Structure 1
Amino acid sequence: MKIRYMGQFSGNEDDLPRQPHRPGAVQFKEPDMKKLAVWANVIALGIIVALMVPLALQSWFTVDGWGFVLGALMSLVCAIPHEYIHAVCFRDTAYIYTNLKQGMLFVVGPEDMSKGRFIFMSLLPSIVFGLIPYIAGFTMHNVFLATLGAMSLGMGAGDYINVWNALWQMPKGALTYLYGFHSFWYRPDDGSRAEAAEE
């Protein structure tokens, strides 16, 4: 596994690394990059509000201190390691890009993945920077951790869309791969490729 930081995305999807389409591949029913950015921002806002409301009802939680400010800022700092955590879930080379025009960072890798590994890869950064700090902050009455967790969980909205698509569109035993900005699934010709992706 190698991770390569590629810098600013050119805007041309054809510049992204890819492999030939697999026989019988089916593209996920998913929005294009612009619509995805809009949907992700709307979902992110909803998640953050939903997670902040229970915090606001706690006597120990306050938004006028350094804990809240630092937690919010740290969630932005975690955007880069967020992508690296995605990247370490790839077995072959993963490529990290910035897309500052749309306020996004993203990672691509053209290898095959099982549904389970794809979902794990998509959710892992939100678990590390979101769910664990949020639960810890709520339990320990720590404003910094709770804020970091709430904001980071919201910032994983685009990943949740990918998880939703995989859960509802990939049949049992199918493999998925990235081709440009889009995800495709297909049924392997024999069990050996499925077993290799699960290892």
Structure 2
Amino acid sequence: MELIVKGRFNGDVNSLPSGQLKNHPNATCFKEFDNINTFSLVLNIASLFLLIGLYILMCLRIHGLASLFNTGTILSIICLLPHEFLHAICFQETVYLYIGKGILFVTGTEVMSRNRFIFMSLLPNLVFGFIPFFIFLIDPSHTILGALGLFSISAGIGDYYNVFNALRQVPKNGKCFMEKQHTYWFV
């Protein structure tokens, strides 16, 4: 895997990496948002609802209001970049890191199996989100892990969208690749 830091994303989707579509001209584009601004708005709203739902669960678990301003909150911010690195290590070829539109993201044009694409999408959310939050649910004294998990799970909303699309649209033996702002699949 080669990681190339591209820096600030300028909002021009035509500047994102491409190349596999010419090798797989019959590939099917995921049925997803065409407009990156609409995509960002919808996912940010969904992330907020997920955050509120998880916060309510956290409060119910500790039988009171949970403080979200603790070390876990700071850790979740610090984990934004490692989150992207965990995505990146799932690539065997070149992967690009971008910053912009209120998010960090990695992308690459490598063809991967549907299952590897799903694993790549979920890995950072498991490590920084679900595992810490699950530990908190087992033992509510770990409020730092609860806050880390809460914010990390809600920050992964775009990853869950990719997993949802892969599970819903791609056959089990399908292959996926990213091309500019879209994801494609073929058998």
Given the two structures, how large is their TM-score scaled by the length of structure 1? Answer: 0.86
Which residue number corresponds to residue 145 of structure 2? Answer: 145
Distance in 1 of aligned mates of 2:149 and 2:20: 39
Does residue 53 (structure 1) correspond to residue 65 (structure 2)? The answer is no
Q: CA deviation at 1:15?
A: 1.9
Which residue number corresponds to residue 117 of structure 2? Answer: 118
Q: CA deviation at 1:60?
A: 7.0
**1:22-101 paired onto structure 2 within 5 Å:** 22-31=24-33, 32-59=35-62, 63-64=66-67, 68-99=69-100
Which residue number corresponds to residue 163 of structure 2? Answer: 163
State the AA in 2 paired with 1:136: I
CA RMSD of superposed structures (Å) = 1.7
Given the two structures, how large is their TM-score scaled by the length of structure 2? Answer: 0.91
SS in 2 for 1:57: helix
* Residues 63 and 69 in structure 1, CA contact (< 8 A), matched pair in contact too: no
**Alpha carbons of 1:147 and 1:186: their partners in 2 closer, same or farther (altered >3 Å)?**
same
* Structure 2: runs of 5+ lacking an equivalent: none
State the AA in 2 paired with 1:46: F
* Structure 1: runs of 5+ lacking an equivalent: 188-199
SS in 2 for 1:110: coil
Distance in 2 of aligned mates of 1:104 and 1:55: 25
More displaced 10-residue stretch of structure 1: 147-156 or 42-51: 42-51
Which residue number corresponds to residue 16 of structure 2? Answer: 16
**1:103-114 paired onto structure 2 within 5 Å:** 103-114=102-113
Higher Cα radius of gyration: 1
Identity over the aligned pairs, expressed in percent? Answer: 38
* Residues 62 and 68 in structure 1, CA contact (< 8 A), matched pair in contact too: no
State the AA in 1 paired with 2:71: L
Describe the superposition over 1:50-80 as per-residue Cα deviations: whole angstroms up to 9, x where unpaired. 211122124476544xx74321222122111
